[in-house]
Homo-oligomer: A and B are copies of this chain.
Amino acid sequence: MNDITQVILCGGSGTRLWPRSRATKPKPFLPLVGDNTLFEATLLRCGPGDGFADPVIVTGTAHLDHVEAQLGGRGAQIVVEPAAKNTAAAIALAAHRLDPQAIMLVCPSDHHIGDCAAFVSAAHAAADLAREGWFVSFGIEAASPETGFGYLRRGEAIGTQGFRTAQFVEKPDAVRAAAFVASGDYAWNGGIFAFRAGDFLRELAEHRPALAQAVAAAVGSGFSDGARFHPDAAAFAAIESESVDYAVMENTARAAMVPADMAWSDIGSWEALHAARARDGDGNAVSGPAELVDCRNVLVETDGPRVSVIGLEDVIVVVNGGEVLVTSAAGAQKVGKLYGAANQ
């Protein structure tokens, strides 16, 4: 049995956790939940003891130092993207660096998973389906009617561990999201996938031939430097930016899903981060020097200055690097649009 190769995607800059997350040190490389950074935790949950091969990490030059500093001695191939071209191209680059029979387990580097055993179990179920030629999405237990995620509709069962994916649904409005959760037939699409490397490249070539050829050209003209592989920048510049969902998952005839109930969060906002953190009996979570009086569901995170909060509920206060953010939980969705976040 061939091991599973985790493919970790470290792209994007992210502004939604500003001012903690900065362009120079974005979300994956920060210890946002617990002691490990999200990237470190992503690596650690696919250890060799659980049947995982050394990973392939796809990242940009801007984050290469962070990646290498946080590998913790783990062997890894690192594919250095000359530019960010979304997930279809990033996964294709990784696929070219692997044996066609290798099982790729594609993982974002900036999510939190509270139940690692459930993740590993789902990963093996997904890998079993991938070995039969399926393109597997993790169908994450939809715990609430989120409007910020895409959804997967469950189809007929495939053996005992998975289902066909009957439909990929774009981010729904609140009414549809509530109906999805009530029906029990839908799961969140968390961007975690499994398939064979050769299968992926074959279907990419079928559905997006120009993109597939451009990636192949960039790899063909690329060069290695130790564990790093550098695709050719000029060839890569021509590549179309497209998500793997659009380019492959929604087009393949062999889309499958495995259920995953694993305390997952994309940590997509300060509100989501607050939910993932350990909280006291009043729902408050504090990191750094702070005093809270008459507060409920308040998150305080400060890198030094003392924060004193009185009489607030569902509020987030972040002090970092000389910036102070105070937002309602609902308003956290707008953090990325703040002048400070958008003009780092």
A residues touching B (Cβ–Cβ < 8 Å)? 19, 291, 293-294, 302, 304-312, 315, 317, 319, 322-328, 330-332, 334-335, 337-341
CB distance from A173 to the nearest CB of B (A): 20
Contact of A322 among B305, B311, B327, B339 (CB under 8 A): B305
**Contact A326/B340 with A331-B294, A334-B293 known, Cβ cut-off 8 Å:** no
Verify B305–A323 contact, CB threshold 8 A.
Answer: yes
Q: In the bound complex, how far is the Cα of B311 from the Cα of A265, in angstroms?
A: 23
Verify B328–A308 contact, CB threshold 8 A.
Answer: no
Kindly report which residue of chain B lies nearest to residue A309, judged by CB atoms.
B326
A325 proximity list for chain B (CB < 8 A): 307-310
Contact of A334 among B306, B310, B328 (CB under 8 A): B310
**12 residue pairs from A and B, CB less than 8 Å apart:** A293-B337, A304-B322, A307-B325, A308-B324, A309-B325, A309-B327, A310-B331, A310-B334, A311-B328, A312-B331, A315-B326, A326-B326
Kindly report which residue of chain B lies nearest to residue A329, judged by CB atoms.
B311
Q: In the bound complex, how far is the Cα of B308 from the Cα of A291, in angstroms?
A: 20
A338 proximity list for chain B (CB < 8 A): 291, 293, 308, 310
Verify A327–B307 contact, CB threshold 8 A.
Answer: no
Contact of A319 among B19, B324, B331 (CB under 8 A): B324
A305 proximity list for chain B (CB < 8 A): 319, 322-324
Residue among A305, A308, A311, A341 having the largest count of chain B Cβ atoms under 10 Å: A308
Kindly report which residue of chain B lies nearest to residue A331, judged by CB atoms.
B311
A335 proximity list for chain B (CB < 8 A): 308, 310
Verify B293–A340 contact, CB threshold 8 A.
Answer: no
Q: In the bound complex, how far is the Cα of B311 from the Cα of A291, in angstroms?
A: 22
CB distance from A252 to the nearest CB of B (A): 40
**Contact A339/B302 with A323-B308, A324-B324, A326-B307 known, Cβ cut-off 8 Å:** no
Verify B306–A322 contact, CB threshold 8 A.
Answer: yes
Verify A326–B302 contact, CB threshold 8 A.
Answer: no
Verify A294–B334 contact, CB threshold 8 A.
Answer: yes
Kindly report which residue of chain B lies nearest to residue A334, judged by CB atoms.
B310
Q: In the bound complex, how far is the Cα of B292 from the Cα of A340, in angstroms?
A: 12
Q: In the bound complex, how far is the Cα of B335 from the Cα of A311, in angstroms?
A: 11
CB distance from A93 to the nearest CB of B (A): 37
Kindly report which residue of chain B lies nearest to residue A321, judged by CB atoms.
B305
A319 proximity list for chain B (CB < 8 A): 305, 324
Q: In the bound complex, how far is the Cα of B291 from the Cα of A326, in angstroms?
A: 10
A317 proximity list for chain B (CB < 8 A): 324, 326
Contact of A307 among B302, B324, B328, B337 (CB under 8 A): B324
Kindly report which residue of chain B lies nearest to residue A270, judged by CB atoms.
B310
CB distance from A265 to the nearest CB of B (A): 21
A327 proximity list for chain B (CB < 8 A): 308-312
A304 proximity list for chain B (CB < 8 A): 322
Kindly report which residue of chain B lies nearest to residue A317, judged by CB atoms.
B326
Contact of A291 among B293, B322, B340 (CB under 8 A): B340
